[in-house]
Every structure is written in C-alpha cells, then in structure tokens.
C-alpha cells in the first residue's frame, strides 16, 4: 500500500479547503495593487474630511503639554495636515483590514483564518493599550520631569511640531512594544520559541528591557522605570503564555498521534 506524500496532501487539502479559485501570480499582483489603491484613496478622502475636526483632535493630543507655540509660518498648517492624515488612517483602518482580509482569506484554511482574525484583533488591542499608556501616563510624567529643568532665566517654549513628534514616537514605540505577548505566542505556536529558554534567560531580558527603555524614553529614571516595568511584566506574561501554548500543542499532537495509530 502506497502513502501519499505529506506535502502533496497538504497542497491538495489547501486547494480543497480554500474558498477561492486558483489565480495566476500576475493576477494576484493586480489584486494586491487594487487593494492598495483603494485603501490609499479611502485614507485620503477620510483625511480630507478629518481636516475639519483636526483642531479638536490636535487639542486632545497636545493637552498634556499645555500651551504650545509654532516657530515657522507653515508649522501649524503642516501639523494640522499630519493630524488629519493620522485621523483619516485610524478611521479607515476597518476598511483597510476588510480589503486585506478579502485578499488573504481565500487562500487560507479555516483554522488559519481564525488565527489571523485573533492576531489582527489582539494586535490592535495591544497597540491601543500601549499607546494609551504612553499618552495618559508616560508622557505627562516625562514632561513634568523634563520641564522641571527650567529656571527663571530658562523658560520652556515647546513648539507644537516638536511635541507632536515627541508624543507620537513614544505612543507608537509603546504600541509596538506591547505586541510582545502576541509575537511570543505566535512564535511558540510555530515552534520558534522555547518558553523554558525565556524563563532561564530572564536576567538578560531585564538588561535588554532596561536598554530599550533608555533608548525609547527621555533620559530620566522615572520615565524609564514607567516603561520598563510594564515591559518586564509583558515579558513574564509572554513566557507563561508560551508555556500554556506549548502544553496545548503537545496535547494536540499526542491526540493526533493516537488517532493515527488507531486508524
């Protein structure tokens, strides 16, 4: 009795379970181009509409800094454009996700679609939590510390453009760093990460987190600790999630082995 190669079987299973028809490579590229063009147009249209609410949005973004100034004739106008584009992108995100989903989903198994949906939702949630942590907690404390170096002869005069860049860098950096549990979980599921290795090397993790915090935050202990401690907590959370995923994966493999032996 001959057995069918696993790779060929997997390929046939994918053809059978995929809901989309096979497309030539050039048609895939054309479809991807349409997705990118449509998504870009929606962002631009929404950004034009967001221009009319960019002033209150800018006031919310700059609230932790108090009174700001602009140093050039075009700085305030340019900043409003940046805020409108950023707002338009966030409003358009559901549409962008939908277009990407319609492009990717037909070539995936049902369980792969489920995993992809979890990844997108989980990543969006973690990014939002990280950005909010930066905006509501880290930025006010960092500003209080940094502006405390002013004197009677050295008064702070922060430009709106510089503050916007400072705030967005911190929020984006924290949003990316907060993806750690998701990245570790996916890496464990794919077999790239050993949870025991993560737990054994916790000392090196602390050193790496301290260096990362020093690079991403203003040069003060308070800001670095406020960023480093949550990342350290995320690291150990990631390690325990990795252990749980590995345990579930091994149990699933044992169950599949027993079923194959029974057959």
Q: Which of 107, 142, 160 is the last residue of a domain?
A: 107
The tally of domains found in the chain comes to: 2
Q: Which of 84, 107, 130 is the last residue of a domain?
A: 107
**Whether residue 248 has pLDDT greater than 80:** yes
pLDDT score at 52: 95
Domain annotation covers residue 12: no
Same domain, 61 and 184: no
Same domain, 122 and 186: yes
pLDDT tier, 129 (very low <50, low <70, confident <90, very high otherwise): very high
Same domain, 141 and 194: yes
pLDDT score at 87: 93
Q: How far apart (Å, rounded) are the C-alpha atoms in residues 102 and 222?
A: 45
pLDDT digits (tens, 9 = 90+) for 109-126: 777 787 778 888 888 899
pLDDT score at 77: 94
pLDDT score at 104: 81
Same domain, 58 and 174: no
Same domain, 51 and 133: no
pLDDT score at 23: 61
Domain annotation covers residue 139: yes
Same domain, 36 and 57: yes
Domain annotation covers residue 4: no
**Whether residue 256 has pLDDT greater than 80:** no
Same domain, 188 and 241: yes
Q: What's this model's pTM, rounded to 2 decimal places? A: 0.77
Q: How far apart (Å, rounded) are the C-alpha atoms in residues 135 and 57?
A: 14
- Quickly count helices (H) and strands (E) in the chain: 11, 0
Same domain, 152 and 180: yes
pLDDT score at 109: 79
Domain of residue 54 covers: 22-107
Give percent of the chain above pLDDT 70. 90
Domain annotation covers residue 261: no
Q: Which of 107, 130, 163 is the last residue of a domain?
A: 107
pLDDT digits (tens, 9 = 90+) for 187-227: 888 888 888 888 888 889 889 888 888 887 766 677 778 78
Answer with the residue of higher pLDDT: 107 or 128.
Answer: 128
Domain annotation covers residue 224: yes
The Cβ-side half-sphere exposure at 203, using a 13 Å CA radius, reads 1
Same domain, 97 and 170: no
Q: Of 47-56, 167-176, 219-228, 239-248, which gets the smallest average pLDDT?
A: 219-228
| Three-class secondary structure of residue 69 per DSSP | strand
Whether 44 and 88 have beta carbons less than 8 Å apart is answered as: yes
Same domain, 46 and 96: yes
**Whether residue 6 has pLDDT greater than 60:** no
Q: How far apart (Å, rounded) are the C-alpha atoms in residues 41 and 47?
A: 10
Domain annotation covers residue 156: yes
pLDDT tier, 98 (very low <50, low <70, confident <90, very high otherwise): confident
Give the residue-averaged pLDDT of 145-167: 85
Same domain, 53 and 144: no
Domain annotation covers residue 235: yes
């Amino acid at each position: 009795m001959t057995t069918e190669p696993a790779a060929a079987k997997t390929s046939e299973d994918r053809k059978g379970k995929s809901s989309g028809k096979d497309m030539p490579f050039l048609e895939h590229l054309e479809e991807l181009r349409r997705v990118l063009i449509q998504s870009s147009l929606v962002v631009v249209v929404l950004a034009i509409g967001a221009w009319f609410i960019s002033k209150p949005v800018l006031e919310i973004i700059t609230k932790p800094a108090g009174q700001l100034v602009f140093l050039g004739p075009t700085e305030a106008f340019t900043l409003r454009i940046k805020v409108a584009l950023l707002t338009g992108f966030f409003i358009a995100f559901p549409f962008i996700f939908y277009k990407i989903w319609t492009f990717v989903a037909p070539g995936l198994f049902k369980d792969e679609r489920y995993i992809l949906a979890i990844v997108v939702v989980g990543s969006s949630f973690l990014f939002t939590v990280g950005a909010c942590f930066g905006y509501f907690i880290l930025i006010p404390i960092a500003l209080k510390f940094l502006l405390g170096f002013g004197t009677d002869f050295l008064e702070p005069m922060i430009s709106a453009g510089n503050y916007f860049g400072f705030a967005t860098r911190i929020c984006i950096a924290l949003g990316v760093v907060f993806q750690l549990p998701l990245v570790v979980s996916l890496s464990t599921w794919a077999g790239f990460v050993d949870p025991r290795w993560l737990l054994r090397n916790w000392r090196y993790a602390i050193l790496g987190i301290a260096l990362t915090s020093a690079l991403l935050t203003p040069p003060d202990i308070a800001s670095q600790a406020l960023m480093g401690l949550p990342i350290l907590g995320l690291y150990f959370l990631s390690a325990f999630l990795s252990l749980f995923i590995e345990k579930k994966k091994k149990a699933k493999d044992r169950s599949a082995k027993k079923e194959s032996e029974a057959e």
